[in-house]
Amino acid sequence: MTEYVVRFTLRQRIEHLAVMTLFTVLVVTGLPQKFFDSSWAEAIILGLGGIDRVRWIHRAAGILFTLFTAVHLTLLVGSVLTGTGSLSLVPTRRDFEDAIQQLRYYLGTADAPARFDRFDYRQKFEYWGLVFGAVIVISTGFVLLFPIAATRFLPGEIVPAAKLAHGNEGLMAFLVVIIWHIYNAHLSPDVFPFDKTIFTGRISVERMRHEHPLEYERIKAQEE
């Protein structure tokens, strides 16, 4: 019988589901506006009821995404300050060493792969990429939503600059999710064909021992 341990709390799973849903809505309504002169973009816009409705949906999803981001960061900082959370997602020198060790292992110049703790360097890269990307799209999104208010305090050039940054960051986020995240979460030989951990909150003891040996050893030591 397979043994499981809890890896993600209910709140973390709900956050992931919310971000995943909102990100999908933002991509479906945002990219057609960026590539409005393409036939596929026109088809999506017409299929969703026209450009006015597409813009309304995109803005509503953007505001919800902003609220979820603010709540997430507030809870994260609060948990660290109160001692109920950890800094396990903060990159350290060890992550750079792990990346080099893993590359050497893949190239056959090292005998063993890197030994990871709760999160490896790839997961930390994805997380902080999402955080910094969110800051860019949220800030530029509000400039585009309130251009007159923004230009009261900033030069007028901020509006076209925000439009360019907003669209390019959205496109880059989409490509990172499709190419990087989908592979690591679903197509990587270690998790193929599907990793359900973020949805169920549970991971098998065998997988934890293999993918996060340092965390596994720490949990075993605490139990003993």
Domains and CATH numbers, the chain: 4-223 (1.20.950.20)
Q: Is 192 left (phi over 0), alpha (psi -120 to 50) or beta?
A: beta
pLDDT tens series, the chain, 224 aa = 678 888 999 999 999 999 999 999 999 999 999 999 999 999 999 999 999 999 999 999 999 999 999 999 998 889 888 888 788 889 999 999 999 999 999 899 999 999 999 999 999 999 999 999 999 999 999 999 999 999 999 999 999 999 999 999 999 999 999 888 888 887 888 788 888 889 999 998 898 998 899 999 988 888 77
> Of 181, 217, 216, nearest to 4 (Cα)?
216
Separation between Cα atoms, residue 108 and residue 100, nearest integer Å: 12
Residue 223 has what pLDDT? 77
The per-residue pLDDT for 103 is 93
Distance between CA atoms of residues 173 and 163, nearest Å: 15
CA 134 to chain centre: 9
Which 8-state DSSP code applies to residue 155? Answer: -
pLDDT at res. 100 = 95
pLDDT at 49: 94
Q: What is the pLDDT of residue 5?
A: 87
- pLDDT, residue 172, reads 94
Is residue 115 within 8 Å of residue 214, measured between CB atoms? yes
Report pLDDT for 94.
93
